[in-house]
Amino acid sequence: MTVSLSELVNYCADLLNVGAIKDYCPNGLQVEGTNKVQKIVGGVTASQALIDEAIACGADAILVHHGYFWKGESPEVTGIKRKRLKSLLSHDISLLAYHLPVDVHPEFGNNVQLAKHLGFLLEGPLDPAGRPSVGNVGRLRKPMKAASLAAHISDTLGRECTYIGDGDTVIESIAWCTGAAQGMIEQAVSAGVDAYLSGEISEPTVHIARESGVHYFSAGHHATERYGIQALGRHLQEVYDVDFTFIDIDNPV
Ligand SMILES: [Zn+2]
| Per-residue pLDDT tens over the stretch 135-191 | 999 999 999 999 999 999 999 999 999 999 999 999 999 999 999 999 999 999 999
Q: Span 3-100+226-246: which CATH code?
A: 3.40.1390.30
What does the alpha-carbon distance between residue 80 and residue 139 come to, in Å, rounded to a whole number? 42
Q: How far apart are the first and last CA of the chain?
A: 36
| Per-residue pLDDT tens over the stretch 28-39 | 999 999 999 999
* Residues contacting residue 228 through CB under 8 Å, at least 6 positions apart: 65, 102, 103, 105, 108, 109, 110, 113, 178
Q: Find the 224 Cα to ligand 1 centroid distance in Å.
A: 9
| pLDDT value, residue 129 | 86
Q: Find the 168 Cα to ligand 1 centroid distance in Å.
A: 31
In CATH terms, is domain 104-224 a member of 1.20.1300.10?
no
What does the alpha-carbon distance between residue 35 and residue 15 come to, in Å, rounded to a whole number? 20
Q: Which of 123, 129, 108, 248 is nearest to 176 (CA)?
A: 123
Q: Find the 119 Cα to ligand 1 centroid distance in Å.
A: 21
Domain with CATH 3.40.1390.30 in the chain: 3-100+226-246, 104-224
Length of the chain: 253
What does the alpha-carbon distance between residue 96 and residue 231 come to, in Å, rounded to a whole number? 15
